Amino acid sequence: MAGLLLWSQTDLEDEITAEVAIRFLDDDRTGAIDAAPLLRLQERSAGYVISGLQHAYPQLITAITAWQADLDNVPERLRSLALNVAIAYLAKRHPEVIKLDWKSLMDHADASIARIRKEGLDSLGIETTPEPAANHGGTRGGGTDDDVTLTVSPYQYFNGPLGTSDF
């Protein structure tokens, strides 16, 4: 999952303002966001979200790979979820800059991922594959309902020394 991104620097700046983003990611104190910590944050947050969803959405990696040319194609729900994880990582990295509990932020992200993975509770908002999730619905093998035969006789109640009849 290395190299897969779900949001851009502009998305992060829109979410937490450019000034705060610079305070978080300007390690060399030049007044601009450094490329290495930004890329690391993008990859970590995307990896966290993807790892939580890829079993329910087996085609997710393929779709995200196609979106890498233009991150504006990433569905908003997926981008927002990855940004939430990124902000949690930033709050953990620099608690002096932002006074948010990173554990609560991560718990919120985990709950969002769980809602998406759970059938019918939430969606990624993707119109084509991988929507619906792989754990949604199922397929039935060949045959008809008439082909089903009962191989074990049903238990008979009240069929003993004190029984009154078979039901």
Torsion angle of C-alpha atoms 19, 44, 116, 52, degrees rounded to 10:
-160
Q: pLDDT band at residue 1, thresholds of 50, 70 and 90?
A: low
pLDDT band at 37 (very low <50, low <70, confident <90, very high): very high
Alpha-carbon gap, residue 77 to 82, rounded angstroms: 9
Angle among Cα 73, 113, 42 to the nearest 5 degrees reads 50
Of 15, 87, 97, the C-alpha closest to 48 is: 87
pLDDT digits (tens, 9 = 90+) for 109-142: 999 888 888 765 566 766 655 555 555 555 555 5
pLDDT digits (tens, 9 = 90+) for 135-166: 555 555 556 665 555 555 555 555 566 655 55
Secondary structure letter of residue 138 according to DSSP: -
CA–CA dist 131, 119 (Å, integer): 11
Q: Rounded to an integer, what distance in angstroms lies between the CA atom of residue 88 and that of residue 83?
A: 9
Q: In 3D, which of 117, 125, 127, 104 has the Cα closest to residue 49? A: 117
